[in-house]
Structure 1
Amino acid sequence: MELDALITDLALILIVAGVVTLLFKKLKQPVVLGYIVAGFLVGPNFVFFPTIVDEGDINLWAELGIIVLLFSLGLEFSFKKLFQVGASAVLTALVVVSGMMLAGYGAGRLLHFTYLDSIFLGAMLSMSSTTIIIKAFTDLNLRKKAFTNLVFGVLIVEDLFAVVMMVILSSIAVKNSFEGAELLESIAKLVFFLIIWFVVGISILPLILKKTRKFLNDETLLVVSMGLCLGMVVLATYAGFSSALGAFVMGSILAGTNEAERIEKVVQPVKDLFGAIFFVSVGMLVSPAALSQYALPICLLSIVVIVGQIFFGTVGMLASGQTLKISIQSGFSLSQIGEFAFIIASLGMSLNVIDKFLYPIVVAVSVITTFLTPYCIRLADPAYSWIERRLPERWLAAIDRYSQSRTEIKPHKAVWKEAIAQYLWRVLLYSSLIVAIIMVSKMWFIPLMVEILPEWGRMIAAIVTFVVMSPFLWALMVKEVSMSLIRKLGEGSVNRVPLTLMIVFRILLALFFVIYYLSIVHSQRTGVLLGLGIFIVVLILLSKRIQKQFMRIENIFMDNLNERELRKTGRNTSLVSDMHLAYMDVNADCPFAGRRLMDSDLRKEYGINVVSIQRGTRRINIPKGETRIFPGDTIGVIGTDDQIQSLLTVVEGSESPEEETDNREVTFTHVVVPGNSPLIGQTSSSLSIRNKNNCLVVGIERADGTFHQPDGQTCFEAHDVIWLVGEPDNIKQLIQDKIENHIQHT
Structure 2
Amino acid sequence: MSHVPQLIVDLSLILAIAGIITLIFKKLNQPVVLGYILAGLLVGPNISIFPTITDIKTIEIWAEIGVIFLLFNLGLEFSFKKLVKVGNTAAITGLFEVTMMLGIGFAAGQFLGWTKIDSLFLGGIIAISSTTIIFRAFDELGLKTQKFTRMVFGVLIIEDLAAVLLMVLLSTLSISQQFAGYELLESILKLFFFLTFWFLGGIFIFPTLLRRYRNLMNDESVLITSIALCFGMVLLVTKAGFSAALGAFIMGSILAETTHAEKIEHLLKPVKDLFGAIFFISVGMLINPSLLMEYAVPTAILVFVVIFGKVIFVSTGALISGQPLKTSLQAGMSLSQIGEFSFIIATLGVSLNVTSDFLYPIAVGVSVITTFTTPYLMRAAEPFYEWLNINLPEKWKTYLNRYSSGTEKIVQTTHWNLVMKSYAQTVIINTVVVIGITLICSRQIAPQVYTRIPSTNLTNSALAIITFMLTAPFLWALVFKRNNRKAYSSIWLNRRFSRGPLILLELSRVLIAILLMGFLLSSFFATPTALLVAGVVMALAIIIFYQRLQNFYVKIEERFVQNLNARKLEGSGKSKRLLLPWDAHFAFLEVSADSTFIGKSLQELKIREKFGINVVLIERGSKTIRLPKPTEVLYPCDRIEVIGTDAQLEEFKGHIEINTIDHMFLNSDDMIVLEKVEIQLDSKLLGKTIRNSKIREMIHCMIVGLERNGERILNPDSNMIIEYEDVLWIAGDKELIREFFKQKEPKAESNSSLAIDDY
What interval of TM-score do these two structures reach, taking the shorter chain for normalisation? Answer: 0.7 to 0.9
For the Cα contact (< 8 Å) 2:134–2:334, is it kept in 1? yes
Secondary structure of the structure 2 residue equivalent to 1:352:
coil
- Name the structure 1 match of 2:337: 336
Q: Percent identity?
A: 45
- Name the structure 2 match of 1:552: 555
CA distance, structure 2, for counterparts of residue 79 and residue 119 of structure 1: 27
CA distance, structure 2, for counterparts of residue 212 and residue 201 of structure 1: 17
1:81-480 equivalent positions in 2, closer than 5 A: 81-412=82-413, 416-417=416-417, 419-444=419-444, 451=453, 454-480=456-482
For the Cα contact (< 8 Å) 1:134–1:658, is it kept in 2? no
In structure 2, relative to structure 1, the CA distance for the partners of 1:162 and 1:458 (3 Å cut) is: same
In structure 2, relative to structure 1, the CA distance for the partners of 1:236 and 1:364 (3 Å cut) is: same
How far is 1:55 from its partner? 1.1
CA distance, structure 1, for counterparts of residue 118 and residue 409 of structure 2: 44
How far is 1:34 from its partner? 1.0
How far is 1:504 from its partner? 2.6
CA distance, structure 2, for counterparts of residue 649 and residue 529 of structure 1: 69
For the Cα contact (< 8 Å) 2:203–2:254, is it kept in 1? yes
1:600-642 deviations in Å (ceiling 9; x for gaps): 99xxxxxxxxxxxxxxxxxxxxxxxxxxxxxx9975x6x9998
1:61-120 deviations in Å (ceiling 9; x for gaps): 111110111111111111111111111111111111111111111111111111111111
- Name the structure 1 match of 2:510: 507
For the Cα contact (< 8 Å) 1:569–1:641, is it kept in 2? no
Is structure 2 residue 520 aligned with structure 1 residue 517?
yes
1:680-715 deviations in Å (ceiling 9; x for gaps): xxxxxxxxxxxxxxxxxxxxxxxxxxxxxxxxxxxx
CA distance, structure 2, for counterparts of residue 355 and residue 365 of structure 1: 16
In structure 2, relative to structure 1, the CA distance for the partners of 1:214 and 1:642 (3 Å cut) is: farther
1:359-395 deviations in Å (ceiling 9; x for gaps): 1111110010010001111222233233334444343
How far is 1:24 from its partner? 0.7
Q: What is the TM-score when the length of structure 2 is the normalising length?
A: 0.74
1:389-442 deviations in Å (ceiling 9; x for gaps): 4444343333333322322122135x6545534432332111111111222333
In structure 2, relative to structure 1, the CA distance for the partners of 1:348 and 1:504 (3 Å cut) is: same
Is structure 2 residue 486 aligned with structure 1 residue 481?
no
CA distance, structure 2, for counterparts of residue 497 and residue 147 of structure 1: 47
For the Cα contact (< 8 Å) 1:449–1:460, is it kept in 2? no
- Name the structure 2 match of 1:619: none
Moved more, 474-483 or 253-262: 474-483
How far is 1:653 from its partner? 6.1
Q: Which runs of 5+ in 2 are unaligned?
A: 575-587, 602-618, 642-659, 666-759
How far is 1:11 from its partner? 0.6
Is structure 2 residue 537 aligned with structure 1 residue 532?
yes
The structure 2 residue matched to 1:564, chosen from 554, 567, 572, is 567
In structure 2, relative to structure 1, the CA distance for the partners of 1:487 and 1:440 (3 Å cut) is: same
For the Cα contact (< 8 Å) 1:75–1:264, is it kept in 2? yes
Structure 1 vs Structure 2 CA RMSD:
3.2
In structure 2, relative to structure 1, the CA distance for the partners of 1:488 and 1:142 (3 Å cut) is: farther
Secondary structure of the structure 2 residue equivalent to 1:355:
coil
How far is 1:15 from its partner? 0.8
For the Cα contact (< 8 Å) 1:127–1:338, is it kept in 2? yes
Moved more, 203-212 or 519-528: 519-528
- Name the structure 2 match of 1:620: none
Moved more, 244-253 or 105-114: 105-114
How far is 1:3 from its partner? 2.0
Q: Which runs of 5+ in 1 are unaligned?
A: 572-586, 594-598, 602-631, 661-746
For the Cα contact (< 8 Å) 2:208–2:563, is it kept in 1? yes
In structure 2, relative to structure 1, the CA distance for the partners of 1:633 and 1:42 (3 Å cut) is: farther
CA distance, structure 1, for counterparts of residue 418 and residue 636 of structure 2: 28
How far is 1:352 from its partner? 0.7
1:620-639 equivalent positions in 2, closer than 5 A: 635=622
In structure 2, relative to structure 1, the CA distance for the partners of 1:96 and 1:539 (3 Å cut) is: farther
In structure 2, relative to structure 1, the CA distance for the partners of 1:465 and 1:658 (3 Å cut) is: closer
CA distance, structure 2, for counterparts of residue 251 and residue 339 of structure 1: 18
Q: Which of 1 and 2 has greater Rg?
A: 1
In structure 2, relative to structure 1, the CA distance for the partners of 1:508 and 1:218 (3 Å cut) is: same
1:320-344 deviations in Å (ceiling 9; x for gaps): 1212221111111110000000001
1:184-224 deviations in Å (ceiling 9; x for gaps): 11111111111111111111111111122122211221111
Secondary structure of the structure 2 residue equivalent to 1:407:
coil
How far is 1:250 from its partner? 0.6
In structure 2, relative to structure 1, the CA distance for the partners of 1:396 and 1:228 (3 Å cut) is: same
CA distance, structure 1, for counterparts of residue 146 and residue 486 of structure 2: 36
Secondary structure of the structure 2 residue equivalent to 1:569:
coil
CA distance, structure 1, for counterparts of residue 204 and residue 266 of structure 2: 24
For the Cα contact (< 8 Å) 1:134–1:657, is it kept in 2? no
1:2-59 deviations in Å (ceiling 9; x for gaps): 4221111111111111111111111111111111111111112222111112211211
1:648-694 deviations in Å (ceiling 9; x for gaps): 9986666956379xxxxxxxxxxxxxxxxxxxxxxxxxxxxxxxxxx
For the Cα contact (< 8 Å) 1:6–1:57, is it kept in 2? yes
CA distance, structure 2, for counterparts of residue 73 and residue 103 of structure 1: 27
How far is 1:483 from its partner? 3.5
Q: How many residues align structurally?
A: 606
In structure 2, relative to structure 1, the CA distance for the partners of 1:528 and 1:273 (3 Å cut) is: same
Secondary structure of the structure 2 residue equivalent to 1:236:
helix
- Name the structure 2 match of 1:685: none
For the Cα contact (< 8 Å) 1:147–1:329, is it kept in 2? yes
Moved more, 482-491 or 297-306: 482-491
- Name the structure 2 match of 1:5: 6
Moved more, 296-305 or 138-147: 138-147
For the Cα contact (< 8 Å) 2:591–2:636, is it kept in 1? no
For the Cα contact (< 8 Å) 1:321–1:403, is it kept in 2? yes
Moved more, 268-277 or 89-98: 89-98
Secondary structure of the structure 2 residue equivalent to 1:412:
coil
CA distance, structure 2, for counterparts of residue 214 and residue 502 of structure 1: 47
Secondary structure of the structure 2 residue equivalent to 1:257:
coil
Moved more, 85-94 or 296-305: 85-94
Task: Give, as a single letter, the amino acid of the residue that structure 2 aligns with 1:557.
Answer: F
In structure 2, relative to structure 1, the CA distance for the partners of 1:42 and 1:416 (3 Å cut) is: farther
How far is 1:453 from its partner? 7.8
Secondary structure of the structure 1 residue equivalent to 2:166:
helix
How far is 1:456 from its partner? 2.8
CA distance, structure 1, for counterparts of residue 61 and residue 446 of structure 2: 40
For the Cα contact (< 8 Å) 1:446–1:457, is it kept in 2? no
How far is 1:296 from its partner? 0.2
In structure 2, relative to structure 1, the CA distance for the partners of 1:268 and 1:488 (3 Å cut) is: farther
Task: Give, as a single letter, the amino acid of the residue that structure 2 aligns with 1:162.
Answer: A
